[in-house]
Structure 1
Amino acid sequence: MLNRLRGAMTRLFTPVADALLRLGVSPDAVTITGTLVVVVTALWAFPTGHLLAGTLVITVFVLTDSLDGVMARRAGRSGPWGAFLDSTLDRFGDAAIFGGLVLWFFGAGDDRLTATLALACLILGSIVPYARARAEGLGMTASGGIAERADRLLLVLTATALVGFGLPLAVLTVVLALLAVASAITVVQRMAKVYAQARALAVPSAPADGASGHGADA
């Protein structure tokens, strides 16, 4: 869903990226700063019940998540290190968001069902990118699925903001349940994709020039 907006986000952030580069700010500094703000906000605001305020701050930095990439491209610094750093720090931000909700609803929020669903989203949400990374480490691909990172964040932050604004808690509970199911389906989709590729690699090639494949005469 949000990945389709990447081109528009790039055009939007290009002037900001150019301004930061002129000030001497590096793409890595933007990546690290954004992650720190998301983690600190999620682990302070959500466990203390500041759902709306926390969501608003986090959303600003989640929406600017592609800013560091735009800066790297504008500066000619795109490379594997930046991609690795961005992907790794994204896991911290995601875990903090769902972890903050778990702490609130297991604590003062007092809703074990919602807390359990948030925990399920945290766990499954960490498996989704792991499946892709492991596949790519084996020379295969496992991208895609019905619940990619941007979609998961959009839904959970929207639902959290609505509950913080005064809507019934059931809104967030239902969204977390749907996200947990969608994340599980995404894991299965990626596993199926890798399984198909592994099966294709395991099929022996057809023998050439009429050879039997069981050993040719010397």
Structure 2
Amino acid sequence: MKYMVDSIRDSCLALLTSILPVSLEGFDSSKSGSNRFMYLELAEKFNVRFLLPGGYYKLCQLSEERLKKYDVPTDFTLKYYRGRQALQPLCAGFVNDVIATSGPRNQWCCSASWSDVLKTAHKDLRDPTFLSGPPNPLKWILEWKEDRTMLAGVCRRCRKQFLAAIDTYRQNIWESLPQMFGIGSSWEELEVMKVVNYPVPAPASLSSSS
């Protein structure tokens, strides 16, 4: 009977983690959908806290208008606005911390080309659609890695350094999500909670027969 309960639990967790990612790699390959709130609600209900940071990040991708269509509890709404406020400046932060500082002083040699890249980034940041849309720095920064036309004219050496900087910056954002949403101090803390706080009670009828 315990095996059956564990199997059901593992199947449920597999479904939830395909939608509410627990790693940056999982986020990049995770599914999206308008019903993500339902899965986040399940994670909150059963206190599966290690699913919450990625879940709330995805919730932040909903517009305020779409969020209002759900009967969202107050604590969910507070985390939603808290997260959006924290996520909003991160794209500009990436531009300032990585692209704008590229050049000979940081041993990036393609100064003229980086100037063009910076102009492209600033154009994106000023775009009205970008400004009014949900803050999604993990996706926007990844596009700089996937769309090689953005780095046209940049040498192989600088490109390699830039791609490494993208990975580092995105990982730092991911690591900060538990604190960003006020869920925990780190992912490691939430992993401990996964073991300690995840209840999988068997139905009373099954418990009495085992």
Length-normalised TM-score, structure 1? 0.33
Q: Which protein, 1 or 2, shows the higher relative CO under an 8 Å CA cutoff with sep ≥ 6? A: 2
Larger Rg: 1
